[in-house]
Amino acid sequence: MKNIFEILAALGIVIPEDKKQDITKQVAENYKTVAEFEKVKSRLEVERDNYKDSLDTAQNSLKEFEGVDVKELNGKVAQLTADLAKKDTEYQAKISDMEFDAALDNAISASKARNVKALKALLDVETLKASKNQAEDIKTAIENVKKDNDYLFESSEPIKNPVAPTGTPAAGEVSKETFAKMGYMQRLELKRTDPEKYEQLKG
């Protein structure tokens, strides 16, 4: 491709050497070659096509919502969100219940309770379940029950001169020593047949 000086020379116009630099600068600042023009044109055409594709995509997306009740759609989304939150709350509650039940069962097992059901009946389960320190509070609650109802638990101390009872002694024959050696079922029977004697010996 001919430069500006070659084109002018072909037309009989000769530019002095000391002027060529200034002319080259002016031409570069004010004019573009065909090649440069085509390059810019090509870039603009690519950008135009990209914008057109984006516009087509947006228009197609909008068509999908034609005839849709936006208010109803928003309501369904809100309901779904609420349902998911409720399910998550229920799931977390079930997990918490399972963890609490495991902690309670382990603590009862460690306490050597003779009757698990009877011990649980004496515990404030709901309060313990709401505790932030369940393990420690469960242990304390069981110890408090044991203080007033030691017959519900196996004794950790050996019984001196144990006597194996053949049945529940008559109320008049029961001494404090005999009462201390009686098992849970024998004490329960005594409480049923002679509650006054039972309370006397228990105290």
User: Which residue did the predictor score with more confidence, 65 or 72?
Assistant: 72
Residues 98 and 44 in one domain: no
Residues 74 and 147 in one domain: yes
Calpha distance 150→144 (Å, rounded): 10
Residues 53 and 90 in one domain: no
Q: Which of 60, 79, 101 finishes a domain?
A: 60
Count of domains for the chain? 3
Confidence (pLDDT) at 137: 92
Can you name the residues that pair with 113 across neighbouring β-strands? 153
User: Which residue did the predictor score with more confidence, 163 or 157?
Assistant: 157
Residues 30 and 12 in one domain: yes
Q: Which residue has the tokens 């009462």?
A: 179
Q: Find the domain containing 193 and state its range.
A: 157-203
Q: Is the residue at 55 inside a domain?
A: yes
In this prediction the pTM is: 0.42
Work out the pLDDT band at 164, boundaries 50, 70, 90: very low
Confidence (pLDDT) at 138: 93
Confidence (pLDDT) at 87: 86
Q: How confident is the prediction for the chain on average, in pLDDT?
A: 80
Q: Is the residue at 184 inside a domain?
A: yes
| Residue 63, token pair as written in the block | 């068509």
Q: Is the residue at 65 inside a domain?
A: no
Residues 36 and 78 in one domain: no
Residues 185 and 137 in one domain: no
Calpha distance 170→182 (Å, rounded): 12
User: Which residue did the predictor score with more confidence, 98 or 32?
Assistant: 98
User: Which residue did the predictor score with more confidence, 117 or 182?
Assistant: 117
Residues 198 and 176 in one domain: yes
Residues 82 and 149 in one domain: yes
Share of the chain above pLDDT 70, in %: 84
- Say if residues 104 and 129 touch (Cβ distance below 8 Å): no
Confidence (pLDDT) at 157: 59
Residues 148 and 161 in one domain: no
Residues 77 and 126 in one domain: yes
Residues 139 and 161 in one domain: no
pLDDT for 102-159, tens place per residue? 989 999 888 888 888 888 888 898 989 888 888 999 999 999 998 888 888 887 655 5
Question: Is the CA virtual torsion 67, 73, 75, 80 positive or negative?
Answer: positive
Work out the pLDDT band at 33, boundaries 50, 70, 90: low
Residues 75 and 44 in one domain: no
User: Which residue did the predictor score with more confidence, 110 or 188?
Assistant: 110
